[in-house]
Amino acid sequence: MAELDVNIPLRGRPTISDVARHCGLSKATVSKVLNLPPDQCPIAEPTRAKVLVSVEALGYRPSWQGRALANRRTHMIAVVNADPYGALPRGQYWEIVDQLDDLLSQVGLVPTFIHTYAGNPRAIEMLGDQRFDGCLSLDAQPKDVQDLLRSNNTPTVMINADVDNSWTNLTFDDKAGTTLLMQHLIGLGHKRIAYNAGRRVNLHSSAIVRASTYAQCMRDAGLEPDRPFVGPVSEFIDRAIDGPYKPTAIVDFEHWTAVHTLQHLWRRGLRVPEDMSVTTFNDTYPVALTVPPLTVAALPVKLITERAVQLLTELIENPTREPRTEMMSETLIVRESTAPPKVSNGAGRPG
Amino acid sequence: MAELDVNIPLRGRPTISDVARHCGLSKATVSKVLNLPPDQCPIAEPTRAKVLVSVEALGYRPSWQGRALANRRTHMIAVVNADPYGALPRGQYWEIVDQLDDLLSQVGLVPTFIHTYAGNPRAIEMLGDQRFDGCLSLDAQPKDVQDLLRSNNTPTVMINADVDNSWTNLTFDDKAGTTLLMQHLIGLGHKRIAYNAGRRVNLHSSAIVRASTYAQCMRDAGLEPDRPFVGPVSEFIDRAIDGPYKPTAIVDFEHWTAVHTLQHLWRRGLRVPEDMSVTTFNDTYPVALTVPPLTVAALPVKLITERAVQLLTELIENPTREPRTEMMSETLIVRESTAPPKVSNGAGRPG
DNA sequence: CTGAAAGCGCTTACAG
DNA sequence: CTGAAAGCGCTTACAG
């Protein structure tokens, strides 16, 4: 007999009908006992007890599929990430994901993590098939994903997703964050500060704002910014040490890059912070545990995730709610990777 | 009119009935066109075309909930983690998760990550409600979780989960891995090697095997093992430097601990590897990027995840398949955190 | 080649 | 206080 034969219950498990039959009551009664809080449950106590006995006896557990169909709620939330590098090397993604998991489960929601980068058509498919009660985007999303969420009326909260304000959106104040870092460095006495934009061209507003704010802060302080750099960290460090600009401090776009920076400076024999100050964004593992620990502009992960879950649940309750954009501020955490430049000329030594 | 009123389709979206009505055909026909591969689809080409036009015109996308109920397949896989610290500080969990996501989606499966540590009753609930076609456990699981999976007949593959062989299980050869590390260190000439068991008592077989293999390797080489240590890394380092044993090399139980070790050695003014060699398990971020990069015993993540997905899909196709336990071997990756001990006495300097 | 009907496992007005 | 019936959106023998 075929495995999926129509009359065999799922993996041999009892259904609500089996329970009803077992206790000689109706499915409706069983359903009420199981779903209504005791104080609002119209079922008489002895009847209630009978149901519970049968449930126990059969080891019955309601099928989520049946429930989801009848209720039109799956209690699942898509947490969407578009980064082609996977989740690892990103800004405080890890912490955000962990927090989200916690907070969502407190309100009875389950996150499923979906990667929407190119080459994953199933992601698009899933976002469109009623599987999720809502969506939390941790990234800028491609246009097709945005269109899909929109045409589906999926309650969605975008987190730093670089979208127009027709979406409910949580953004980060990268301008203020970068300024904090720059003021710290300039206050320490640095005159030549280099900015490392990372491995690849990044058109996300965070990338653009951080780079331009860096240059702006330099000019505002009467200093000359370095030429822009995108590429491998080893090249960046070689240029910093051997090139004409001779920075005494570095601002890295992301923690992953900063960790590489520390390693390459070590390879080239420079000490941090004595020979070079290093800073970056996002206070994530292992940024506080490097040698030396890194000074960073940090995201308020707790606030962000709490707010995101709150906005999302509001949107699920009331899908027609006005979209809004809220901005969260970054904070400066000073650690041991920054210090005043050396009193000598302070430049990296050649080769 | 209430949001969940029975005749309002989900979020206003068209159903298969709407499509059928729109093209003047039956639901059965629409369903066939949508689900059967063209070559096995009995529907006449012009009819087919009509259906497709209507689907397009209405923007119809099948409801997964309806499908799941009718098919008894959700195509979702629970990826279960029991670690109370969350996913971050664990052995190559991150890489495993990323790989799993990739591989599962290639076979049309979607992972949902579930934390089963105490205080998360919803996890248990979800594992029991037919939501998942199968389960992948990344950890030792509490007995109630095991019982639930068993009583539910959930096809499950355990990964290093410390279970009896009534389960399909992938284990790691920690004994061989630890031996690799110890032989490397002893071959370098180290006579006093300390083992750091981590922050807390850990009864997982991996922890036990690594600790006992460490001691065994020492004795086999005619060397005296250090006393066992469990606790904060700073204490471990203080003891290593100030205590009587005076190790010249350290084996850390996990990368998180090793990263702390590097930082505390730096704080105490010791150089790695000149004053102290450091090694650990799991080749995960940032272990190759620390200063200096760490020598590790690594897990074959790619093999593990491929095998796990393979075994799981087999189990889903054929739930009565014999359980089996397979062991994967660890490999040694030598980096710059290990070197011969100093020719002098080699002990850490006091205070 | 196409469709009517029953079924998947649940919930929810509604009637009694 | 309890239950019969219809419905959620789909699929699948089966009949024609």
Comparing CB atoms, the residue among A76, A122, A289 nearest residue B259 is A289
B292/A266 CB distance under 8 A: yes
B-chain residues near A105 (CB < 8 A)? 115, 120, 122-123
CA trace torsion A227, A228, A230, A236 (10° rounding)? 40
Range among A127-136, B231-240, B280-289 with highest mean pLDDT value: B231-240
pLDDT value of residue A6: 28
- Name the DSSP letter for residue B39: G
Of A62, A48, A75, A49, the C-alpha closest to A14 is A62
Q: What percent of chain B has pLDDT over 90?
A: 61
A341 located within any domain: no
pLDDT of A5 strictly over 60: no
B-chain residues near A72 (CB < 8 A)? 4, 10, 65
Pairing of strands A331-333, A295-298: antiparallel
Considering only A217-226, A321-330, B96-105, B276-285, which range has the smallest mean pLDDT? B96-105
CB atoms under 10 Å from CB of B151, counted, come to 12
pLDDT category at A317 given cuts 50, 70, 90 is: confident
Q: Can you give the residue range of the structural domain that contains B85?
A: 76-172+301-329
Range among A6-10, B34-38, B86-90, B231-235 with highest mean pLDDT value: B231-235
pLDDT value of residue B153: 86
Q: Clarify whether residues A260 and A286 are in a common domain.
A: yes
Q: Clarify whether residues B286 and B192 are in a common domain.
A: yes
Under a CB-based contact definition with an 8 Å cutoff, are residues A206 and A260 in contact?
no
Cis peptide before B286 (omega within 30 of 0): yes
Q: Clarify whether residues B285 and B189 are in a common domain.
A: yes
Q: Clarify whether residues A57 and A102 are in a common domain.
A: no
What are the pLDDT digits (tens) for A89-110? 456 777 888 888 889 988 888 8
How do the residues of chain A divide into helix, strand and coil, expressed in percent and rounded to 5? Answer: 40, 15, 45
pLDDT value of residue B209: 96
Q: Clarify whether residues A199 and A272 are in a common domain.
A: yes
B334 located within any domain: no
Q: Which whole number is the average pLDDT over B195-220?
A: 95
B346 located within any domain: no
CATH of the domain at A66: 1.10.260.40
Higher pLDDT, B318 or B293: B293
Residue A221 Cα to chain centre, angstroms:
34
CATH of the domain at B317: 3.40.50.2300
Hey, what amino acid is at A165?
A: N
Q: Clarify whether residues A45 and A91 are in a common domain.
A: no
What are the pLDDT digits (tens) for A281-292? 999 889 999 999
Separation CA B67–CA A65 (nearest Å): 9
Q: How far is B254 from chain A (nearest CA, A)?
A: 14
B240 located within any domain: yes
Separation CA B298–CA B165 (nearest Å): 24
What are the pLDDT digits (tens) for A173-207? 999 999 999 999 999 999 999 999 999 898 889 99
pLDDT of B90 strictly over 60: no
* Positions of chain C reached by protein Cβ under 7 A: 1-13
Under a CB-based contact definition with an 8 Å cutoff, are residues B276 and B265 in contact?
yes
Q: Is the CB of A21 less than 7 A from some atom of nucleic acid strand C?
A: no
Considering only A83-87, A180-184, B132-136, which range has the smallest mean pLDDT? A83-87
B-chain residues near A128 (CB < 8 A)? 61
Strand partners, A297: A281, A332
Under a CB-based contact definition with an 8 Å cutoff, are residues A195 and A226 in contact?
yes
A-chain residues near B114 (CB < 8 A)? 110
Strand partners, A79: A113, A136
Question: End of a domain among B38, B53, B71?
Answer: B71
Q: Clarify whether residues B312 and B269 are in a common domain.
A: no
pLDDT value of residue A102: 85
B45 located within any domain: yes
Q: Clarify whether residues A152 and A227 are in a common domain.
A: no
Chain B span 215-254 residues with beta carbon within 7 Å of strand C? none
B-chain residues near A96 (CB < 8 A)? none
A347 located within any domain: no
pLDDT value of residue B87: 53
- The integer distance in angstroms from the CA atom of A51 to the C1' atom of D5 is 21
A335 located within any domain: no
pLDDT value of residue A84: 60
Q: Clarify whether residues B244 and B186 are in a common domain.
A: yes
A129/B63 CB distance under 8 A: yes
Q: Clarify whether residues A188 and A265 are in a common domain.
A: yes
Domains of chain A: total: 3
Q: 3-class DSSP state for residue A76?
A: strand
Question: End of a domain among B38, B71, B104?
Answer: B71
Separation CA B136–CA B151 (nearest Å): 16
- The integer distance in angstroms from the CA atom of A110 to the C1' atom of C13 is 29
Q: How far is B331 from chain A (nearest CA, A)?
A: 23
pLDDT of A348 strictly over 70: no
- From residue A235, how far is each of A210, A238, A240, A350 by CA, in Å? 21, 5, 8, 14
Separation CA B259–CA A289 (nearest Å): 7
pLDDT value of residue B136: 94
Which nucleotide lies at the shortest CA–C1' distance from A27?
Answer: D3
Range among A141-145, A157-161, B275-279 with highest mean pLDDT value: B275-279
Q: Clarify whether residues B149 and B263 are in a common domain.
A: no
pLDDT of A271 strictly over 50: yes
Under a CB-based contact definition with an 8 Å cutoff, are residues B280 and B258 in contact?
yes
Comparing CB atoms, the residue among B68, B126, B289 nearest residue A110 is B126
Instruction: Share the mean pLDDT of chain B.
Output: 88
Pairing of strands A193-196, A331-333: unpaired
Comparing CB atoms, the residue among A86, A87, A101 nearest residue B115 is A101
Q: Is the CB of A66 less than 7 A from some atom of nucleic acid strand C?
A: yes
B27 located within any domain: yes
Comparing CB atoms, the residue among A130, A153, A263 nearest residue B291 is A263
pLDDT value of residue B41: 85
Per-residue tokens: B73: 């397949």
pLDDT category at B25 given cuts 50, 70, 90 is: very high
Q: Clarify whether residues A80 and A222 are in a common domain.
A: no
Under a CB-based contact definition with an 8 Å cutoff, are residues B329 and B176 in contact?
yes
Q: Which residue is nearest to nucleotide C1 (CA to C1')?
A: B43
pLDDT of A218 strictly over 80: yes
A151/B59 CB distance under 8 A: yes
Which nucleotide lies at the shortest CA–C1' distance from A28?
Answer: D3
Give the residue on A whose Cα is nearest the Cα of B66: A69
pLDDT category at A123 given cuts 50, 70, 90 is: confident
Under a CB-based contact definition with an 8 Å cutoff, are residues B324 and B232 in contact?
no
pLDDT value of residue B181: 98
What are the pLDDT digits (tens) for A19-57? 998 999 999 999 999 999 888 888 999 999 999 999 999
B290/A263 CB distance under 8 A: yes
Q: Which whole number is the average pLDDT over A116-133?
A: 79
